[in-house]
Structure 1
Amino acid sequence: MNKGQYLNLFYDARLTLKIEVIELEELINTLIKNDIDIDSINRLSISSAILSIQYKDFQKFKEIFNKYDGSYEIIGKDKRSTTIYTLRNRISLVIGIVIFFLSLMLLNEFVWSIDIKTEKNISPFEIRNLLYKEGIKEGTFKRKINYEDLEEKLKEDHPKISWVSVRPYGSKLLIDIREKQLPPSLIKDDTKKDLIAKKDGIISRVYTANGTALVKAGDVVKCGDPLISYIEGDETHSYEVVPKGVVMAKTFYEDKIVVPYKEKNRDRTGKYISNKYIIIAGNKICVKKAENKFEKYDKIEENYGPFVIEKYYEVIENEIDLDKESVIKKAEGELLEKIKSNISVNSSIMDKKIDKEEKGDCCEIRMIIQCEEDISS
């Protein structure tokens, strides 16, 4: 069978239609005037009939029929028309898939985001400005970028860069910067200074190895007050030393916590909805969007490459009463551990005071811990 015979085979495919319209005679005459090949008309009633037309005329038939007040349905197809319909739909699907993946490949040839990783003294903003001067920004064609030349250019333009890596990753441009390690600034050691308090406290004991004690037991000092002077000796003979000693003082650490007597439990009902997206070049394209009517919900996001599924699970909250004694005891333990984390390991805990105040369905717990420690610095 040659090509022309093959095309004619599908060209002559037919459809069988059942039509119902008041102006039946007028419709049939109009179809014939418009060169629509009608075969085997079988009238069922004054306003209905069964007829056969060629598949190629079906679109023209619909345009004419829409001008009349009636209805039609396809009640029969020969194998050739079924094949044409299937091929047409499959070809459209294949073309759509091909266009989609070609678009992804094309978009992947451009830089759509720039990820800059630096250390302490160089900001990503500085590097981004250097890139703009070189014509590198979002939307740049990746094949126009010479990565090795760009690395050398960045090191030349910024004196603090010791090493740089520029590499593509998908539609991202990854830039990793390492800074030059500058020598520390030299600080002159000035020994002409007193030993001062590093925190508030009440002096309990003072031991001096060098210098003169400026405080005694019972004195209240603030952070920054002098404790031991760098001057040693008497009025007739004095000299400067590096002050050394131990100044023990009572210090106080305080914190508070509010604990509820009721707790909310969240339970899932089993109902959920899901939204589906495709991420292309940093843009989220919605594939399926469901209306979220849940008042309370848990949101879980699942990523499968460029495909993202968001799931919303409906939850209900129930409030339950807790045992007051257990709640308070647990809270006191947590508060004590929290305060201890701020206390020096060389400190000794001398006393502990706890105040509790009821506030509706909650209890405010205030804890004060007294320690003894060396406050000299």
Structure 2
Amino acid sequence: MFSSLKSGQVTIEINALVPEKILNAFWNSQIYTCNIVKVSLTTVRVTIYYRDYKDAEILIKKYKGKVKIVRTSGIIVLLMKMRRKISLVIGMGLFFAVIYILSNYIWAIDIETQRNLSPFEVRQQLSSIGIKPGLSKSQVNVYQIEKKMEDLNSQIMWIRVRIEGSTLKLVIKEKVNPPSTEKTLYNQVIAKMDGEVKRVYTNSGNPAVVPGDIVKKGDDLILPIQGREGFQMEVKPSGTVIANTFYDKFMEIQVSGEKLERTGNKNSDIYLNFFGKKVYLKKAINQFEYYDKIEEKDGFFNKITYFEKKGINVNLDKESTVKEATEKLEGSLRKTLSNDAKIIDKKTAVEDIEGGKILINVKFTVEQDIAKNVS
């Protein structure tokens, strides 16, 4: 086997004043030659064994000749060429090895649902049973996942789980709930929220409430009939019911002592996750005494950012702070109200809590139309 590897051949061109002397020297040194071709008066082409090339080169230089390799053949020659590019070969080998290893893991989860079930909810439930990116394919039993997901989520009627490449694909069909059998009265005017009735204006229909009544969300406000008893007829009710409604808003504020705030300085770790082991591309030197830590995970490529926080002294005027907070809460409430709603009263309660903080609770009374037409 070894001798066959050494049997590679090299065709060379010898350029010398008298190339025949060099051929004689080859024969005297027992260097096997064949396919001798005289190219010109001073040039000869000859084939020798690769193992004899070094000796032949020494003899050619001894006779002040020049040598050029024209052609090579044989396994040993190929191996010698590859040896010169060993780093490239090793790199390619490692590349394909890494690709092969990574192909044995799940790196993405593709979820296909219908109308009511969100992919985010499904992903959370998969995580609760240990199914997430970076999991080895050998640890994934698609039939067990199907059974567990059906047990976890009552909305799933049918589920198919399959591995496609490095992606775990889920196709989910949802259960369709039967229509509600509860009878709904059409042409109703009901309360859209709780409140205390102040005034009732009807365009058609008889009022079901009077000023001073406390109503709950969904209660009838105007009945779909009009007229006095004995002279009633069915109509489509409509009107306006003005009521006092109530909202609670609160805010926690630190007015004294020390609190931590971000300084704007930050640092970060960047790392790759291989089979549960972290390979850091960048390692932060975290010298922050206090900091917020935010971790961004993307399966393979991950980042952790540290935001420095330092304590600052707080000494706020309690009265002005409460007033300002009340105005902010009122502004926040106004954004949620309709244009015809009016804030007619507000009551502020302040409670001291630990750490120099206060809890500001404001109760708002809002006069607005609570009638909702259902038709």
Return the TM-score normalized by structure 2.
0.51
**C-alpha separation between the residues in 2 aligned to 1:4 and 1:312?**
66
Partner of 1:229: 223
1:171 aligns with 2:169: no
CA distance in 1 between counterparts of 2:101 and 2:349 reads 65
Q: Name the structure 2 match of 1:376.
A: 371
Shift of 1:167: 11
Letter in 2 for 1:232: Q
Pair 1:201-2:195 in alignment? yes
Which of 96, 103, 114 is residue 97 of structure 2 equivalent to?
103
Local SS of the residue matching 1:337: helix
2:63 is aligned to none
**1:122-146 deviation digits (Å, cap 9, x = unpaired):** 6777xx9xxxxxxxx9639xxxxxx
8 Å Cα contact 1:264/1:320 also seen in 2: no
Native 8 Å contact 2:295 2:304 kept in 1: yes
Q: What is the deviation of 1:305?
A: 11
Paired amino acid for 1:264? L
What is the rounded CA distance, in whole Å, between the counterparts of 1:356 and 1:95 in structure 2?
74
Secondary structure at 2:200's aligned position in 1? strand
1:238 maps to 232
Give the aligned partner of residue 85 of structure 1: none
More deviation, 203-212/282-291: 282-291
Q: Which consecutive unaligned segments of at least 5 residues does structure 2 have?
A: 1-48, 55-82, 127-134, 139-155
> Cα offset for 1:175?
6.8
Hey, what does 1:320 align to over in structure 2?
Answer: 313
Residue 227 of structure 1 deviates from its aligned partner by: 2.3
CA RMSD of aligned residues (A): 5.1
Structure 1: distance between partners of 2:265 and 2:118: 48
Match of 1:366 in 2: 361
Shift of 1:260: 0.9
Structure 2 residue aligned with 1:247: 241
CA change 1:346–1:220 in 2 (3 A) is same
Alpha-carbon shift at residue 106 of structure 1 (Å): 1.5
The 5 Å alignment of 1:141-152 reads none
Alpha carbons 2:254, 2:314 under 8 Å: kept = no
Distance in 1 between the 2:310 and 2:89 partners? 50
Find the aligned partners of 2:276 and 2:369 in 1 and give their Cα distance: 59
Q: CA deviation at 1:208?
A: 1.5
Cα-to-partner distance string for 1:312-371 (whole Å, 9 max, x where unaligned): 57x452131143255434422321123224433331222333333444612222222222
Contact 1:215 1:227 in 2 (8 A): yes
Following the alignment from structure 1 to structure 2, what is the Cα–Cα distance between the partners of residues 198 and 252?
A: 13
Provide the C-alpha distance between the structure 2 equivalents of 1:358 and 1:110, rounded to a whole number of angstroms. 58
CA contact (8 A) 1:214 1:228 kept: yes
**Structure 1: how far apart are the matches of 2:298 and 2:214?**
65
What is the deviation of 1:301? 6.5
Between 1:237-246 and 1:322-331, the stretch displaced more is: 322-331
The SS at the match of 1:343 is coil
Superposed displacement of residue 259, structure 1: 1.1
How far is the alpha carbon of 1:299 from its aligned partner?
4.3
CA deviations on 1:103-155 (whole Å, 9 max, x unpaired) are: 22213545624322434246777xx9xxxxxxxx9639xxxxxxxxxxxxxxx
Q: Residue 104 of structure 1: SS of its match in structure 2?
A: helix
Residue equivalent to 1:210:
204
Q: Quick one: distance in 1 between partners of 2:296 and 2:199? A: 63
